[in-house]
Structure 1
Amino acid sequence: MLRLEALRAFVEVADHGNIKGASERLFRTPSALSMTLKQIEDRLGCPLFETDRKSSLTDMGRFLYDQSVALLRDYDRAMERIAAQSKARSGRLRIASVPSVATMLLPDFLQEFISTRPDLDIDLVDTDSADVRLLVETGQVDIGIAGFAGDRPGMATRPIFRDPLMLVCRTDNPLAAKGQILDWDDLEGEALVLNEAMRSLASDRFQQLILNARYAVRNVASLIAVVRAGMGVTLMPALATVNLPPNLTVRSLRDPACMRTVSLHWRLGRVPSPIAQRFLQDFTLAAQEMTKSFGLEPVV
């Protein structure tokens, strides 16, 4: 079998038309190159050059040259791709995120993240926390960004910021006139529209209020449309309320339990790819800085 180093030496000699120029290019002595060429010829059982001057190839030499150039080109390109992936410059990164992070934090971050990684492919799934958890647990995505309650078996978690749950209602709803901070008793008799962010809220009074809830909506756009239509009020993370329609307003809730912790999640027992590791590192820092501008509390 001919080694790649030997084929590279042969191609350099053929390109230069002499051993001296090739030896300077490869930082090898002329005698070492001559020995390499002789080993190739002995292996193939035929000469590669018409004369000892190495200025012209035989038919076999021309055939070997063409094959070697193609082989070395493919090899070098493959090694470049391998190096790029190992150094987190390329690859494929699959992310699942709750909508608030996907719309408010990820676009600016990803634009900068991929600007120096032209060969990086990003798959982004925008869904609720339950689906994010499922996609991470089943290995369909590399990284999840969501607010989970408590530890999840088989899943690593890195908190990045805390986000209060806010009451969202129409501006003409009587709740909007009750002040900026509400108590659970203020919601008595209101039609609550449930969503995934509310399900993990550990408050006895809240659990009593939702016993008569008639609607549950998972999609954020649909949730906002239902509230706009006057079908009820809901709770949404503060980050998700930044760009609400004009006829909707938000109010804080006094209960300290109205808080979600948004975290990065990935599977335990599986080493993240180099690009996933870089994303985990860079997005943690970027998200903590970006959320400060929204008045949220980073977890450091």
Structure 2
Amino acid sequence: MLKLEHLRTFITVADTGNIADAAEMLGRTPSAVSMTLKQLEGDIGGALFQSDRKSNLTALGRFTLDNARAQISGFDASVRTIRAYAAHEIGRLAIASVPSVATILLPSALATFLGPRPGLEVELLDADSRSVARMVDAGSAEIGIAGPPQETARLTFAPLICDRFRVVHSASDPLAAITRPLDWQDLHDASFIRNEAADAIDLPELRERYYAATLMVRNVASLLAMVREGLGVTLLPTLATINLPAGLQARDVDFRGAERIVGMITRTASHPSPVAAAFVRHFHQSLAASAPALGIEAL
């Protein structure tokens, strides 16, 4: 049976033209190199050199040398690729995320993660929390960043941040004249516009007025356009209010419970790829550094 070690020895002898120099390069004794060549010739079934001096190859030797170089080169390339994958230097990672995390937290985290890893391929999928969970469950994304999934048997949820909700209104809304944090009394006469993120808030004070809203907008850009036109006010997490368009204001609300938990969603039965495991560690570090300035709490 042909061994890669024997082929490497043969290539070295053929390149140096003698056993002594080859033995020195390989860190072996000349007798050990000579024995390896004899075993290789026995496995192949023919002489590789024209004489014991090993300076000239036979026709079989030349043919074997060409093929041995190709095999060794391919094997070494495969080993390098496997090691690079294990060291998360190459590979592919699909991340599904809610829009606020995708636009505020992920850009800086990915920039520092991908900088030293130019061989990585990353796909970022922007979706609401339910869709993020579905994509992870279906395997189209290895990592999800969203609210807690409804499906808990197949998915694992690890909390990342606590993100308080804020009231978003137009600059011309009467609420703009109130300089302190808003409370429920301030919102008594407000017309709400529902959205997917705020629907997760479970507060008795909110149910009567918020869920009576007749307008529901799922896309954040469209939602903000509606608010700017004065169709109503809405509730959005702090991350979603950081870069508001002109004509809009985001206000703190003075009541507990109006917050969302965002975390990492993965498949329970799947072992993370080296790239995914490395990114999770990196994202935790990036989040811890950026959370205080953004007004969110890292968990």
The TM-score, its normalising length taken from structure 1, stands at 0.94
**Distance 1:293-1:281 versus aligned 2 partners, 3 A rule:** same
Kindly indicate whether the alpha-carbon contact (under 8 Å) linking 2:163 and 2:259 is maintained by their aligned counterparts in 1.
Answer: yes
Give the number of equivalent residue pairs: 299
Does the C-alpha gap of structure 1 residues 33 and 66 become closer, same or farther in structure 2, counting only changes over 3 Å? same
- 2:173 aligned residue: 173
Structure-1 separation of matches of 2:81 and 2:149? 39
Quick check: 1:161–1:288 contact (8 Å CA) kept in 2? no
1:224 & 1:278 partners in 2: Cα distance?
35
Cα 1:24/1:153, change in 2 over 3 Å: same
Q: Which moved more, 1:203-212 or 1:163-172?
A: 203-212
**Corresponding residue for residue 54 of structure 2:** 54
Question: In the TM superposition, what whole-angstrom CA distance separates every residue of 1:177-205 from its partner, at most 9, and x where no partner exists?
Answer: 23342223433343322222112101122
Secondary structure of the 1:181 match is coil
Corresponding position of 2:156: 156
Q: Which residue of 2 aligns with 1:22?
A: 22
CA distance in 2, matches of 1:35, 1:219: 73
* Structure 1 position 212, deviation (Å): 2.5
What is the RMSD of the two structures over their aligned residues, measured on CA atoms? 1.7
**Aligned partners of 1:139 and 1:180: how far apart in 2?**
46
Aligned mates of 2:135, 2:122 — CA distance in 1: 15
Paired residues of 2:129 and 2:149 also in contact (CA < 8 A): no
Partner of 1:266: 266
After TM superposition, give the deviation of residue 151 of structure 1 in Å.
8.2
1:183, 1:170 → 2: CA distance?
17
Cα 1:245–1:282, aligned 2, differ >3 Å: closer, same or farther? same
1:236-251 correspondence runs (5 A): 236-251=236-251
Q: Does structure 1 retain, via aligned residues, the 8 Å contact 2:182–2:254? A: yes
Is contact 1:149–1:200 with CA below 8 Å preserved after alignment?
A: no
Q: Which residue of 2 aligns with 1:40?
A: 40
Question: Alignment partner of 1:286: what SS?
Answer: helix
Q: Measure the CA separation in 2 of the matches of 1:111 and 1:95.
A: 14
Q: Does 1:12 align with 2:23?
A: no
- 1:293, 1:24 → 2: CA distance? 61
Aligned match of 1:69? 69
Question: Which secondary structure state, in structure 2, belongs to the residue aligned with residue 20 of structure 1?
Answer: helix
212-221 vs 64-73, greater mean Cα deviation: 212-221
Partner of 1:129: 129
Structure 2 unaligned residues grouped into runs of 5+ = none
Please, what TM-score do these two structures have when normalized by structure 2?
A: 0.94
Q: How far has the Cα of 1:226 moved from its partner?
A: 2.1
Identity of aligned residues (%): 43
Q: Distance in 1 between matches of 2:55 and 2:193?
A: 83
Measured in 1, the distance between the counterparts of 2:199 and 2:153 equals 19
SS at match of 1:215: coil
Matches within 5 A, 1:278-293: 278-293=278-293
Counterparts of 1:42 and 1:212 in 2: how far apart (Å)?
87
Distance in 1 (alpha carbons) for counterparts of 2:88 and 2:247: 45
Q: Does 1:201 align with 2:186?
A: no
Give me the whole-angstrom Cα distance separating, in 2, the residues matched to 1:218 and 1:294. Answer: 24
Query: Relative to 1, partners in 2 of residues 1:285 and 1:274: Cα closer, same or farther, differing over 3 Å?
Result: same
Whole-Å separation in 1 of the counterparts to 2:45 and 2:149: 71
Structure 1 counterpart of 2:38, which letter?
K
User: Quick check: 1:10–1:37 contact (8 Å CA) kept in 2?
Assistant: yes
2:135 counterpart SS class: helix
Q: How do residues 110-129 of structure 1 correspond to structure 2 at under 5 angstroms?
A: 110-129=110-129
Aligned-residue offset at 1:217: 2.0
Cα offset, 1:211, TM superposition? 3.0
CA distance in 1, matches of 2:52, 2:74: 30
* 1:139-198 deviation line (CA, Å, top 9, x unaligned): 221111112278833222222221111111100011222334222343334332222211
Kept in 2: contact 1:166–1:251 (CA 8 A) = yes
What secondary structure, in the 3-state scheme, does the structure 2 residue paired with 1:186 have?
A: coil
8 Å Cα contact 2:149/2:155 also seen in 1: no
Which letter maps to 1:196? E
Structure 2 CA distance for aligned equivalents of residues 235 and 15 of structure 1 = 74
**Alignment partners' CA distance in 1, 2:216 and 2:19:** 78
Residues 136 and 180 of structure 1, relative CA distance in 2, 3 Å threshold:
farther
Question: What code does the residue aligned with 1:115 have?
Answer: G
